[in-house]
Amino acid sequence: MSLLAVENLTVSYLSRGGAFPALRNFSCRVAAGDTVGVIGESGAGKTTLALALLGLLGDRAVIESGSIVFGGTELTKLTAGEWRKYRGGRLALIPQASQNIWNPVLTVGHQLAEHIEHHLGISRSDAVRQAAAALREMGLEETVLASYPHQLSGGMRQRAAIAAACAVNPACIIADECTNSLDVRYQNDVLQALENLRQARGTAMVVISHDLAVIARLCRKTYVLLAGETVEAGLTADILRSPVHPYARRMVADTCSFLASLPAAGKEV
């Protein structure tokens, strides 16, 4: 059985002009330990999907149809109180622009430890220890615990947010553009840390990105979104080798020609 099963999900944003469907008939299945990528250009509906999966759409959006079943529970019918049990715990989100999740008046350590304590039901001192370990996995020093968010760079805040999502041992992580404000070295570290987490704990992942290289590195399966529609879905290796839809073909060709255009090491530029 799938850990996460999304069937024919359609989500619309409401405006005075009517309902605008940002995601249409999206379906996917994610087994325990599986890695699924969702790729598409800006406005394709990727974040809409992430927010729907976590019950965070807010008042201006509605789930028009479809279902989201996680661990046997239908999520689209949960009340706000019931959502608190799932969100951030068994099902965790690394939100887009996650460097901005932090409360500016509390230290990162305080917020991380509180989050871990709440979701794992462990003592504060154990939570602080786990917070330090989670930061280390993201290449951050223990001193980050005592820092206020504004004392860290955007990339450090982003890695600390990823540490928060990973620290509570989720069964599934939804990662929305989780490497977008990181420089290349830290992108590598974060992708490696997510891969290590999957291998060590069997964490399933839905990796949302506009960057095919990120998806190709992490994901077994890929869904390609264009203006809210799934135009291609399959094994990532197959899509890379022989994309079918014109949009997918262009995306693969553009990524390959970009990589090929990089000067070879040592060559004069």
Ligand X SMILES: Nc1ncnc2c1ncn2[C@@H]1O[C@H](COP(=O)(O)OP(=O)(O)OP(=O)(O)O)[C@@H](O)[C@H]1O
**Under the rule (CB under 5 A), what is the footprint of Ni ion?**
46-47, 96
**Where in 181-200 is the site for ligand X (CB under 6 A)?**
none
| Binding-residue pattern over the window 84 to 103 for ligand X, x denoting contact by CB under 6 A | ------------x-------
**HSE of 150 in the Cβ direction (CA atoms, 13 Å)?**
4
Per DSSP, 263 falls in state: P
Q: CB 44 → ligand X: shortest distance, Å?
A: 4
24 binds ligand X (CB under 6 A): no
**44, 94, 112, 165: residue in contact with ligand X (rule CB under 6 A):** 44
Q: CB 237 → Ni ion: shortest distance, Å?
A: 25
Nearest CA among 177, 173, 135 for reference residue 156: 135
| 96 versus 107: smaller Cβ distance to ligand X | 96
| 13 versus 148: smaller Cβ distance to ligand X | 13
| 174 versus 233: smaller Cβ distance to Ni ion | 174
**45, 95, 109, 170: residue in contact with ligand X (rule CB under 6 A):** 45
Angular region, 228: left φ>0, alpha ψ -120 to 50, beta rest = left
Out of Ni ion, ligand X, none, what residue 22 binds, judged by CB under 5 to 8 A for its kind, is: ligand X
Helix, strand, or coil (residue 141) = coil
The owner of tokens 């022989």 is 242
Q: CB 183 → ligand X: shortest distance, Å?
A: 20
SS3 string, 51-112, reads HHHCCCCCCCEEEEEEEEEECCEEHHHCCHHHHHHHECCCEEEECCCHHHCCCCCCCHHHHH
Q: How far apart are CA 147 and CA 152, in angstroms?
A: 7
46 binds ligand X (CB under 6 A): yes
Tell me the C-alpha to C-alpha distance, in Å, between residue 72 and each of 67, 68, 165.
Answer: 12, 10, 22
Q: What is the largest CA-CA distance in the chain?
A: 61
Q: CB 96 → ligand X: shortest distance, Å?
A: 6
**Where in 56-75 is the site for ligand X (CB under 6 A)?**
60
Residues making contact with ligand X (CB under 6 A):
13, 22, 40, 42-48, 60, 96, 210
